[in-house]
Amino acid sequence: MTLSARLAFGLLGLTAAGAIRAADPEVTILPAQEIRFPTEAGKYYQLESSPADSDQWQAEGLPVLGTGEVHFVQRRAQENLTHFRVRQLTHQWVPVWADEFEGDRLDPAKWSREENGYGGGNNERQFYSTDPKYA
């Protein structure tokens, strides 16, 4: 099932009168898009985008679990992404967590090795070691 997505264009950081408020640090104003679509409780939806001159669709973020309310996504506008669609996901696995890895090593700011014999603190029956041969 494919649902249509309604777009609303606007600018971030503008007051009702259209003037820019003073801020510290300095405010940068960028074009924005707000994409809204209805959901049914318990069903998953995937927002996808495609450049104007292509029929290749790419997922925008992780799937959304419906609540029965209208779901909206605010994002920075990109001129080359002019087509959006929302697919209701059925009969397939849905990712619920992701991390994008850059290069061939883990980012030590996000990841660290853990050593303990307590199953990671969640009653797993395994031993965690910091030995590089297991990493």
DSSP 23: -
**pLDDT at residue 2 in the model:** 45
Q: How confident is the model at residue 135 (pLDDT cuts 50, 70, 90)?
A: low
State pTM to two decimals: 0.52
**Averaging pLDDT over each range in 9-23, 62-76, 101-115, which range is the top one?**
62-76
pLDDT in tens, 79-113: 766 788 999 988 777 777 777 677 777 777 877 77
Q: By C-alpha distance, which of 37, 39, 57, 36 is closest to 48? A: 57
**pLDDT at residue 43 in the model:** 92
Would you identify the CATH topology of the domain 1-19+28-91?
Immunoglobulin-like (2.60.40)
* Single-letter amino acid code for the residue at 112: S
| Three-state DSSP state, 134 | helix
- Within 8 A by CB and 6+ apart from 88, the residues are 1, 2, 3, 43, 44, 45
Q: By C-alpha distance, which of 1, 14, 26 is closest to 90? A: 1
**pLDDT at residue 121 in the model:** 67
Average pLDDT over the chain, rounded to an integer = 75
**pLDDT at residue 94 in the model:** 74
Name the residue with higher pLDDT: 133 or 89: 89
**pLDDT at residue 51 in the model:** 85
In Å, how far are 52, 79, 125 from 5, measured between CA atoms? 15, 17, 46
Numbered ranges of CATH 2.60.40 in the chain? 1-19+28-91
Q: How confident is the model at residue 31 (pLDDT cuts 50, 70, 90)?
A: confident
Mean pLDDT of 60-72: 91
